[in-house]
Amino acid sequence: MATLLYQGHGSLRVTTDRGNVIYIDPFAGAGYDAPADLILVTHQHPDHNRTELPARQPGCVVWQNSDALKNSEYRTLRLNFAVAEAVEAYNHHHKREECVGYILTVDGKTVYFAGDTGQTGQMSRMAERRLDYAVLPIDGVYTMDLPEAIRCAGLIAAGHTIPVHMAPGALFDPKRASRFTVPGALIVAPGEEIRL
């Protein structure tokens, strides 16, 4: 069974049942000692793209937003331990052509990592996917605010929704996280690992 470690801010680590390690937007917190097989980057802002932090396995794949979105086409990366499907991510601070989110499939579970975004056109169709998890930003400065994140969670209708990216410059804001009241909300603190 895969696990998800929330490192803080917008940084996460997924470990498959076979031990393959995937980092999403490495920047904050601890837990970069497990060598990476895959590093996914949603965009080039410095708080999402410290790809030098994780140790790496030989053959580690680093998939940047520029790999995931080419010529206005959202691409899918298929590896023998995971599938990463790029999806839309954009808002007033993030250009559509420079950012992506990812739907990651590992060990039969689907996890949507929204990246820094507001509501996108694709979100209204995500409920059809019956996603297991959605990871949404809620800071209200560089990403969607709480009311928009709650609305997006309703559109996406994942089994569980995890709030991240809660306040600029902070790993975590428990008070803000507690206000993320949606069905299936799952509050994960930095350093906490959950089974997917």
Domain borders along the chain are: 3-185
The answer to whether residues 148 and 139 touch, using CB atoms and an 8 Å cutoff, is no
Place of tokens 């996914």: 40
Residues ≥6 apart with Cβ < 8 Å to 92? 118
Residues ≥6 apart with Cβ < 8 Å to 73? none
Phi, psi for residue 155 in degrees, rounded to 5: -65, -45
Torsion from C-alpha of 19, 65, 130, 27, nearest 10 degrees: 50
The answer to whether residues 188 and 6 touch, using CB atoms and an 8 Å cutoff, is yes
Element (H, E) at 28: none
Specify the pLDDT at position 157.
Answer: 98
Specify the pLDDT at position 9.
Answer: 96
Residue 52: how many CB atoms within 10 A of its CB?
9
Specify the pLDDT at position 14.
Answer: 98
> pTM of the entire structure?
0.97
DSSP 3-state of 153: helix
Which CATH number, 3.60.15.10, 3.40.50.1970, 3.40.350.10, 3.30.70.370, labels domain 3-185?
3.60.15.10
* Of the candidates 148, 161, 151, 156, the residue with the CA atom closest to the CA atom of residue 125: 156
Place of tokens 């694709």: 122
| 137: β partners | 164
pLDDT in tens, the chain (196 residues): 999 999 999 999 999 999 999 999 999 999 999 999 999 999 999 989 999 999 999 999 999 999 999 999 999 999 999 999 999 999 998 999 999 999 999 999 999 999 999 999 999 999 999 999 999 999 999 999 999 999 999 999 999 999 999 998 899 999 999 999 999 999 999 999 999 9
